[in-house]
Amino acid sequence: MIVAARLLKILLLAGMSVLLFGCSDDGMNDLREFVENAHKDTKPKVDPIPEVKTHEVFAYGSAEGTDPFGEFNLRPRGTKAANKSGPDLRRRKEPLEEYPLDALKMVGTLSRKSESWVIIQAPDGTVHKAQVGNYLGQNFGKLVSISEDKIELIETIQDPLGDWIKRDASISVVE
């Protein structure tokens, strides 16, 4: 009798679980139907392959024109006259020449009688003073004038051909 009661309980549980699983719905039927039918009638638009352009062949005859790789054609236009001598490379470097010019910050000026100094902050946080004639930056920048809101320098750099040229540069006060 106990075995029959147990067997009845097991059969009842099995029957109820079959009924519960049969009635279950995950609520995703609408989504499945939408995914199947959403792009059924659409066709992808593919652009045609672009036409290959043909180029005319040109044979360069050096006798007909100037050499495109000659020194005249390689020299940059619109720069100041080149200087063959360049900066004094044996000169002892000043502390502010260790840093690129754009990394230096002008924080103020000092003046006493006819002398003026500029206060420069280096990227590492150290503060330096400089006056006209001192060098700043990694391009041999020589300080030529000091005003309250900016300093002006002349840098000496090499152009692509190896000639030394001079260019103007400046640093303004950081507020």
- Whether 91 shows a pLDDT value over 70: the answer reads yes
Q: In what order do the strands lie in the sheet with 127-130?
A: 105-112, 115-121, 127-130
Domain that holds residue 86: 71-172
**Distance separating alpha carbons of residues 174 and 95, to the nearest angstrom:** 20
Q: Is residue 14 part of a domain?
A: no
- Segments in 52-145 forming alpha helices (H): 71-74
| Report field, pTM of the whole predicted structure over 0.75 | no
Q: Is residue 158 part of a domain?
A: yes
The region of weakest confidence among 63-67, 73-77, 135-139, 154-158 is 73-77
Residue 163: predicted pLDDT = 83
* Distance linking the first and last C-alpha atoms of the chain: 98
Residue 87: predicted pLDDT = 87
Comparing 106 with 85, which gets the higher pLDDT? Answer: 106
Residue 173: predicted pLDDT = 87
Number of separate domains in the chain:
1
Taking CA atoms, 104 is separated from 68, 71, 117, 124, 158, in Å, by: 40, 36, 15, 10, 22
Q: Is residue 65 part of a domain?
A: no
Q: Is residue 49 part of a domain?
A: no
- What CATH number did the domain enclosing 118 receive? 2.30.30.830
Q: Is residue 51 part of a domain?
A: no
DSSP secondary structure code for residue 88 in this structure: -
- Whether 23 shows a pLDDT value over 70: the answer reads no
Residue 7: predicted pLDDT = 83
**For the chain, what's the residue count?**
175
Q: Is residue 32 part of a domain?
A: no
Q: Is residue 12 part of a domain?
A: no
Residue 66: predicted pLDDT = 72
In the predicted model, what is the mean pLDDT of residues 59-77? 66
Q: Is residue 93 part of a domain?
A: yes
Residue 57: predicted pLDDT = 84
Highest mean pLDDT among 16-30, 58-72, 85-99: 85-99
Residue 84: predicted pLDDT = 58
Residue 151: predicted pLDDT = 93
Average pLDDT of the chain is 83
What is the per-residue pLDDT across 132-151, written as a single tens digit (0 to 9) for each? 999 999 999 999 999 999 99
